[in-house]
Amino acid sequence: MPKWSTPIRQAHLVRLWAEFGNKCLEGHSVCPNPSHYIYRKAKAVSVAKPITLPCVNSEGEPIRDRQGNQLYITLYRVSTGICYEERVSRLYDLKCEEIIETWKAEDRAQRGAERKAEQRLIHSLGERRYPLRGQFSNIAQDIFFAEQPQHYLEGLGISGLTFKPFAKVRIASSYMRLFVELGDSLKGVSKAKKRKAIRYGKALPVEVQKRIELACSLAVSHYLNNR
C-alpha cells in the first residue's frame, strides 16, 4: 500500500466511487458517447527550432566557399510549446488523482515540519529558562507558567473529507494533537497563498493569523475544560 493510503483516506475514496462511479467526464451515468471518456491533459514541451543565418566575418562581409557560394550556419533555438496528452478516463479517476495529489503534498509538508523540529531539537543548546538551582518562588512560578503558550500550531491542511481548511495543534507539555476546523478563517486569502501556507508554511496576513489563533485557542480551551 502507498504511504498516503490511510484507512480514513481509503474510506473517502470509497465515498467518491459511490458518488461518481462509472460516470463519464461530462457527469453522465450511462453515456453512449465514447468521446466523453477522452481526457486531454495539457503538457509543456520544449521544441528546438532551426534558424539558418549567413556566415559573415568580423567586418560584416559574407564568407564564401571556393566556388563563391555563400556559407550558412544553422542554429537551434529552444522554445516552449503546449501539447495535449489524450487518455481514456472517468470522472472518478480525475477526482481520485486530484485528492491523492493533495494528500501527498500534505504528507510532504508534514514530513518537512517533523524534520525541522527534529533538527531544532538536535542542535538546540538545551538552555533552560528557569533557575538551575533551588525551587521556584510562588511569584516566579506564576510568571513562568503564565509565559508558556497553551498550544503550538504545527501546520495547516485541507481535509480530504470535508475539503475545508484545518489546523494541526499540539497541546503544550503533551503529545496530544487536535485537528481544528478553521471554517471561514482563511476567507479572502488567494488560492496561491493558501497553497504556499499549507505546503511550505509561508506566513499568512496578520488578520488571518489572528483568526486562526483565536479558533485554535477556543478549541484548546474547550478540550482542556471538558476532558
Q: What is the pLDDT of residue 100?
A: 92
- Quick one: pLDDT at residue 137? 64
> How many whole angstroms from its chain centre is CA 168?
15
For 56, the grid coordinates are 559573415
pLDDT over threshold 60, residue 68: yes
Q: How far is CA 140 from CA 2, 42, 83, 134, in A?
A: 51, 64, 68, 12
Q: What is the pTM of this model?
A: 0.42
pLDDT value at position 132? 47
Question: What is the pLDDT, as a whole number, of residue 135?
Answer: 60
- In this prediction, residues 86-103 reach a mean pLDDT of 90
Phi, psi of 47 (to 5 degrees): -120, 130
- pLDDT tens digits for 113-167? 888 887 877 766 554 554 545 565 666 666 666 667 888 888 888 887 778 889 8
Q: How many CB atoms lie within 10 A of CB 173?
A: 9
| Choice between 118 and 170, residue whose per-residue pLDDT is larger | 170
Mean pLDDT, the chain, as a whole number?
Answer: 84
Q: At 151, which amino acid appears?
A: H
Distance from C-alpha of 23 to C-alpha of 95, rounded to nearest angstrom: 11
> How do beta strands 165-171 and 177-181 pair?
antiparallel
The answer to whether the beta carbons of residues 106 and 158 sit under 8 Å apart is yes
Question: pLDDT digit string (tens) for 21-61?
Answer: 889 999 898 888 999 999 988 888 888 889 999 999 888 88
pLDDT at 119: 80
pLDDT on residue 21 = 84
111: cell is 514530513
Report how far residue 59's alpha carbon sits from residue 156's, in angstroms, rounded to the nearest whole number: 64
